Structure 1
């Protein structure tokens, strides 16, 4: 007997809906996996730098790797091509892996990302941003500008212990991953076809200017009015830290865990402070400056790592806003960074125990300058 046309139509409709549902779930699952495995989608800045780092490693597979980690200060201020200029053919591969807004918490996260990517540096020079030694949930610190959509599950496991509400972050992250086609639509378009996006939504523009070794040149208007406007914006941005500065337990714990994890992986560590202009330095209270100096001396002594201080190396004309170096100033600073920080750091040698347990300084080398 022939099936009733209405029943046949109903059955076909249910089958179509079922297949549509299966297809939707499959697409969402594929996108979720793609986002998890592709840093370039969820975190374009890191993805762009990681891609260039892999290219450099492929070009010089035998060269030992020295990574420079830090914030946007280092990203625009340190040009690896000038650090060991004229060095021997067996000189280390120096790469600038500094990322916008990165302080001790996200640098710890970055160590784990490197492990996940199978990248094992022999040395790391990590920036200490003085004002990121103060981290106060809801007021100031990395938690304020970190984004759950830029993290993968490994990132969450690392930074979770430093978040004020880790469960809330986990729930928000899970919701994003349940509907990636919608929640990551701009990131996916930026990755697949950035030309389809309005310029205000594109995330690839700045990173296209990265040089092969990770330096991002900072070029902007340098007239007096523009510079003053950027200084005022910087002062507003840092006001929460400058107004009530103190070394907080969260930042200290993250920095010391960074040292512990790096040593466990056999990485030799050094730290440095980037230059600040005279205007920016005038915003610190004497009490804040005293706390920072005391903390860094104690940290250097207790963790047995060198801390190099380049705070006063540059004049205000070298900066866009009194703390980010302009592109014309980066080469000169980088050469001095190479001579007075990188070369002494590379000359440090382990005396006893695992890498980093005890360090002997070569004659004339000093951490705090």
Structure 2
């Protein structure tokens, strides 16, 4: 009986001997799981950023398609018209639609290309000019539009969405807060990962410009109700800034650095005050506007640049929101711009 009992009891004793080793596995597995949960997000972010960097290297057009479309036009202009000075206009959405250089048919003189970009203020213009020079464009003259409200405040989130990795060292000097552009740049890369699908054809769905950069899609007219609606939206977006008209330090640095880099590369600069309707002009604080006008005049004197003041060139009916033009406004502006800038360059 004793021997039989001892023999039958041996498995339980053996089981109790092995149980500590078996019981230690669950805590270890839980630890590994926690580590995986903690490490996955940064690993995913780093991988996604790496994919973006690779995509930008192989297909740079994926980052700012509009810039690269205009870059092609400028390169073509330099090749097809080597005997004519190359003129490039940089500016905001105001000049995206207002300047239609295809209408300038004179066979001599400056050959103008519209290089304006929706949302471009001092910082984005600075980045675009730096890119153009880096990418081999050698303009003889640059017309630089001044969008007053963007000197007060630029949309960091929107602007950063058009930066490539190589643009950050240039752009971050002009941020309102340290690493402001870096934050929105990373945020864009994470939230717009679907844009990577465009690497196969970055120009899919892109609105092609005319041969010299004029926008193909431009409205001929709007109803009074539609004009009132859009003008109210323009007031909402610009009103607070044109009331203060305090130039932020980053905008001032970007503006001056853009002018300096243009002249350092042997090109001439012409500053442009774009057309505004009577309604838009009524929104400015008079004292603030006077200070801003004096600021622009001081910068122009410092760098020896001309200022073309087109603010009063058009009537209210030439705009659809008192600062973005209809086709008739673009026609008037383009014709007069060519004359005025030619006079300015002869001085």
Bin of the TM-score, shorter chain as denominator length: 0.7 to 0.9
Offset, 1:204: 5.4
Could you tell me which residue of structure 1 aligns to residue 135 of structure 2? 117
Could you tell me which residue of structure 1 aligns to residue 76 of structure 2? 55
Q: Is 1:79 the equivalent of 2:100?
A: yes
Output the TM-score relative to the length of structure 1.
0.74
Q: Is 1:192 the equivalent of 2:213?
A: no
* Contact kept in structure 1, 2:172 and 2:180, CA below 8 Å: no
* Contact kept in structure 2, 1:82 and 1:334, CA below 8 Å: yes
Q: Pick from 55, 70, 76: which aligns with 1:34?
A: 55
* Contact kept in structure 1, 2:272 and 2:309, CA below 8 Å: yes
CA RMSD after TM alignment: 2.7
Could you tell me which residue of structure 1 aligns to residue 175 of structure 2? 163
Q: 1:130 to 1:164 in 2, by over 3 A?
A: closer
Offset, 1:26: 10
Encode CA deviations 1:250-296: one digit per residue, 9 max, x unaligned: 22221111121112111111111110001111111211221122112
Q: 1:321 to 1:168 in 2, by over 3 A?
A: closer
Equivalent residues in 2 for 1:112-261, closer than 5 Å: 112-135=130-153, 141-147=154-160, 149-167=161-179, 169-170=181-182, 173=185, 183-185=192-194, 187-190=195-198, 192=200, 205=205, 207-208=207-208, 210-216=209-215, 217-219=217-219, 222-261=222-261
* Contact kept in structure 1, 2:171 and 2:181, CA below 8 Å: no
Q: For 1:207, what is the secondary structure of its paired residue?
A: coil
* Contact kept in structure 1, 2:148 and 2:242, CA below 8 Å: no
| Max Rg structure | 2
Q: For 1:321, what is the secondary structure of its paired residue?
A: coil
CA–CA distance in 1 between the matches of 2:185 and 2:319?
Answer: 37
Offset, 1:67: 0.5
* Contact kept in structure 2, 1:39 and 1:46, CA below 8 Å: no
Encode CA deviations 1:60-104: one digit per residue, 9 max, x unaligned: 244321111110101100111234x3343xx33210000011111
* Contact kept in structure 2, 1:70 and 1:107, CA below 8 Å: yes
CA–CA distance in 2 between the matches of 1:31 and 1:228?
Answer: 42
Offset, 1:112: 1.3
CA–CA distance in 1 between the matches of 2:326 and 2:241?
Answer: 24
CA–CA distance in 2 between the matches of 1:343 and 1:172?
Answer: 40
Offset, 1:220: 6.4
* Contact kept in structure 2, 1:106 and 1:142, CA below 8 Å: no
Paired positions, count: 301
Could you tell me which residue of structure 2 aligns to residue 46 of structure 1? 67
Higher helix residue share: 2
CA–CA distance in 1 between the matches of 2:79 and 2:270?
Answer: 25
